[in-house]
Chains A and B, each alone.
Chain A
Amino acid sequence: MSVDLATVRHIAHLARISISDEDAKNMEGDLNSILEWVEQLSEVDTDGVEPMTSVVHMEMKKRDDVVSDGGYAEKIVHNAPAYEETFFMVPKVIE
């Protein structure tokens, strides 16, 4: 499988990264050489093999379903590029 320029642009949009024509062209070459290289996995017989979900066999611990953290919204927002009181500020999304 290989990607063309239109696919590179589509993926970049899905990933929300704007990309110049020149960068898209370079990326097309890079991505294709990486994809061609990972293609060797197709020679591995994986019939009946379960996909890995966790490297460590363990029972996931559960905690009581109670509030254990929070109550400091002002600390959360102060790293934002734009905020007012305890709200993140973003460009208008609804007319």
Chain B
Amino acid sequence: MSDLTTLTIAEARAKLDAGEISSVELTQAFVDEIDKADALNAFITKTPEKALEMAAQSDQRRAKGEAAGKLEGIPVGIKDLFCTEGTLTTAGSHILDGFVPDYDSTVTTNMWRDGAVMLGKLNLDEFAMGSSNETSYYGPVVNPWQRKGSNAKLVPGGSSGGSATSVRANLCMAATATDTGGSIRQPGAFTGTVGLKPTYGRCSRWGIVAFASSLDQAGPITKTVEDAAIMLGSMAGHDVKDTTSVDVPVPDYEAVLTGDIRGLKVGIPKEYRVDGMPSEIEDLWAKGIEWLKSAGAEIVDVSLPHTKYALPTYYIVAPAEASSNLARYDGVRYGLRVEGDDIIDMYEKTRAEGFGEEVKRRILIGTYVLSAGYYDAYYLKAQKVRTLIARDFTQAFETVDVMLTPSTPSPAFGIGERMDDPLAMYLNDIFTVSLNMAGLPGISVPAGISQEGTPLGLQLIGKAFDEATLLRTGQIIEQAAGDLPTPASWWKEMS
């Protein structure tokens, strides 16, 4: 029965509906796989008992003939940034030691309402700050992929590295993730999974540990575009508890996968042709253009002149918001406390011990750019440039329906290779970060294999609240790319 873990959500749902398998059988298959995959370090907390109990309840609902939800009986992993009632929630940080929420995030509540089964909480960069999943207090996540002829460990990308790894290694059927500057799409590209970052406001942020509130957005990581459509349909929706969640109808995303993109106008932003881009990335992009053209799309050159300023703008806005959001971790209300001489000393020692290097670096940058005398020069300036970045997109979308770019400037790199230079690490997000600045949706779809034998992805950027076009176009790329290889399961021999 081990084949059960390689099914897509759509396939498993059909088997469950037909009574060929039960959710308990399906869930048990994943629980067994997870136990063989400790070498990947994808889970911070495994919840097998809870999973089997939820699966049994799902089977009972089906037996009673109750209407099956979108995710009825489907075992999923939850990025450990989403609060889950009664289950440890860490955000990958020492400072949240022992934090067990009494509530679920709205996104996870929606998924349980639709019948999903929770396998556990997935590893991530600390507070979702990172592009390689190496900043977690719980250690780095390992990419299931290895370079040809090498057993060197590669990063899965970040910050949703545990989500991407666990989906690719068949440790869960799909996973929740979050994207502030690329944290869904970049790990999607590095692991050969589909990563969908919805429009800002499409999914509620309530109950998700906050990093940069004007940028954070939840979305799915899945094996296929169709599964991304199923997951988003469950995760999305207006929520009175999040005033930035938008009250617009959630379309039936599965119904939009028509396979027809004739007449679609696809923009190719010339500023994404960056200096020193590896030829294999350039070739993949050209291939993607050809695929969409032969499916009947019209290719249009567009310009996003402020693209090069998106990353430096991000590294002012995101740390500024993070420094404010992370002020709440003070050793009083939850998590770690380190005793001090007085209350200020207690705060300072707790935060010094509880936060890792990258988180401290961003808090300090954020504190500096918001401090008296520097606010106008940095933060206000960055918010103005952000307006210009968003305006670029608005203007380009007057002539096109969607844009196509590479997802990342390189395939997955080795663990430890880029940890010494924060700036080099930040450049990973060069293609993903702009659309966060404008609140737009994006999807990374596996599209090819690098010369090193590891996955590469293509990114589609959509108009606000037009995830439907992203999914429909993404599926064309997925079909054109054909059957891509999957990684050899070397990790099973290590446990």
Which residues from chain A sit less than 8 Å from chain B, CB to CB? 1, 3, 7-8, 11-19, 27, 30-31, 33-35, 37-38, 40-42, 44, 46, 49-56, 58, 60-61, 63, 72, 75-76, 78-82, 88, 90-93
| A37 x B246 contact (CB < 8 A) | no
Chain B interface, >50% SS class: helix
Q: Which of B344, B364, B378, B437 contacts A38 (CB 8 A)?
A: B378
Is B119 among interface residues, defined by CB-CB distance under 8 A?
A: no
| B367 x A46 contact (CB < 8 A) | no
| B384 x A27 contact (CB < 8 A) | no
B381 CB, nearest partner CB in chain A, Å:
6
- Tell me the bound Cα distance from A44 to B309 in angstroms: 9
Chain A residues with CB under 8 A of B377: 1
- Most chain-A CB neighbours within 10 Å: which of B352, B360, B383, B384? B384
Chain A residues with CB under 8 A of B308: 40
B381 and chain A: residue at smallest CB distance: A41
| B364 x A55 contact (CB < 8 A) | no
B358 and chain A: residue at smallest CB distance: A30
Chain A residues with CB under 8 A of B116: none
Q: Which of A30, A40, A50, A72 contacts B387 (CB 8 A)?
A: A50
Q: Which of A13, A46, A72, A80 contacts B332 (CB 8 A)?
A: A80
Would you list 14 pairs from A and B whose C-beta atoms are within 8 A, ordered by A residue?
A17-B351, A17-B364, A18-B352, A19-B352, A27-B364, A41-B309, A41-B382, A49-B387, A54-B244, A78-B102, A81-B332, A81-B334, A90-B332, A92-B342
Q: Which of B332, B345, B352 contacts A88 (CB 8 A)?
A: B332
Residues from 106 to 147 in B contacting A, C-beta threshold 8 Å: none
Chain B residues with CB under 8 A of A1: 374, 377
| A46 x B336 contact (CB < 8 A) | no
Chain B residues with CB under 8 A of A19: 352
A88 and chain B: residue at smallest CB distance: B332
| B367 x A14 contact (CB < 8 A) | yes
Chain A residues with CB under 8 A of B240: 61, 63
| A56 x B439 contact (CB < 8 A) | yes
Residues from 327 to 365 in B contacting A, C-beta threshold 8 Å: 327, 330-337, 339-340, 342-349, 351-352, 355, 360-361, 363-365
| B364 x A15 contact (CB < 8 A) | yes
The list of the 4 closest CB pairs from A to B, nearest first, reads A55-B439, A51-B383, A81-B337, A18-B348
Chain B residues with CB under 8 A of A41: 309, 312-313, 316, 381-382, 385
Q: Mark B303-323, 1 if CB is under 8 A from A, else 0.
A: 000101100110110000001
| B364 x A90 contact (CB < 8 A) | no
- Most chain-B CB neighbours within 10 Å: which of A15, A58, A76? A15
| B316 x A46 contact (CB < 8 A) | no
A71 CB, nearest partner CB in chain B, Å:
13
Knowing A27-B364, A42-B381, say if A15 contacts B351 (CB, 8 Å): yes
- Tell me the bound Cα distance from A4 to B369 in angstroms: 15
A57 CB, nearest partner CB in chain B, Å:
9
| B368 x A56 contact (CB < 8 A) | no
Chain B residues with CB under 8 A of A91: 339-340, 342-343, 346
| A52 x B316 contact (CB < 8 A) | no
A8 and chain B: residue at smallest CB distance: B364
Q: Mark B409-449, 1 if CB is under 8 A from A, else 0.
A: 00000000000001100000000000001110000000000
| A51 x B384 contact (CB < 8 A) | yes
| B388 x A79 contact (CB < 8 A) | no
A88 CB, nearest partner CB in chain B, Å:
5
- Tell me the bound Cα distance from A1 to B373 in angstroms: 12
| B385 x A55 contact (CB < 8 A) | no
- Tell me the bound Cα distance from A80 to B363 in angstroms: 23
Knowing A1-B374, A17-B355, A38-B378, say if A56 contacts B387 (CB, 8 Å): no
- Tell me the bound Cα distance from A30 to B89 in angstroms: 30
Is B272 among interface residues, defined by CB-CB distance under 8 A?
A: no
| B312 x A37 contact (CB < 8 A) | yes
Q: Which of A18, A31, A60, A90 contacts B349 (CB 8 A)?
A: A18
- Tell me the bound Cα distance from A23 to B156 in angstroms: 28
| A60 x B243 contact (CB < 8 A) | yes
Is B79 among interface residues, defined by CB-CB distance under 8 A?
A: no
Chain B residues with CB under 8 A of A72: 102
| A79 x B383 contact (CB < 8 A) | no
Q: Which of A14, A17, A51, A76 contacts B371 (CB 8 A)?
A: A14
- Tell me the bound Cα distance from A51 to B380 in angstroms: 6
A2 CB, nearest partner CB in chain B, Å:
11
Chain B residues with CB under 8 A of A38: 312-313, 315-316, 378, 382
Chain B residues with CB under 8 A of A60: 243
Chain B residues with CB under 8 A of A13: 348
| B361 x A31 contact (CB < 8 A) | yes
Chain B residues with CB under 8 A of A88: 332-333
- Tell me the bound Cα distance from A34 to B98 in angstroms: 34
